[in-house]
Amino acid sequence: GQQLNQSPQSMFIQEGEDVSMNCTSSSIFNTWLWYKQDPGEGPVLLIALYKAGELTSNGRLTAQFGITRKDSFLNISASIPSDVGIYFCAGPGARQLTFGSGTQLTVLP
């Protein structure tokens, strides 16, 4: 099946810093989705990307759909404590959504 490789696996940053994480695939995707998951809760959709090269923002979050359609990155600017959580990329195949392994973000005060 399709595999999504997410990096880094975990990050520790100081409050106020910017952070970047990315997701790569061996397959082409026509859509990239970014989700955030807090402990014990369901994934919450942050950003959806539908076109190669597309750059989309949602507040302090910015995501880009790679030109090759095999990668995407998510940036968070000026991190705050509530940014803590696991960030997943997800790529819909023809009939199902495949999730990356996640990036665990810790924001230190």
Binding site for other proteins (CB under 8 A): 30-31, 33, 35, 37, 40-45, 48, 88, 90, 92-102
For the bound state, the minimum distance from the C-beta of residue 18 to other proteins, rounded and expressed in Å, comes to 25
CB nearer to other proteins: pick between 13 and 99 = 99
What burial letters (b/e) apply to 27-37, b meaning 16+ CB within 10 Å? eebebbbbbbb
CB nearer to other proteins: pick between 41 and 109 = 41
CB nearer to other proteins: pick between 82 and 96 = 96
The SS3 assignment for 15 reads coil
Q: Quick one: which H or E segment has residue 58?
A: strand 55-58
For the bound state, the minimum distance from the C-beta of residue 25 to other proteins, rounded and expressed in Å, comes to 14
For the bound state, the minimum distance from the C-beta of residue 70 to other proteins, rounded and expressed in Å, comes to 16
CB nearer to other proteins: pick between 42 and 109 = 42
For the bound state, the minimum distance from the C-beta of residue 49 to other proteins, rounded and expressed in Å, comes to 10
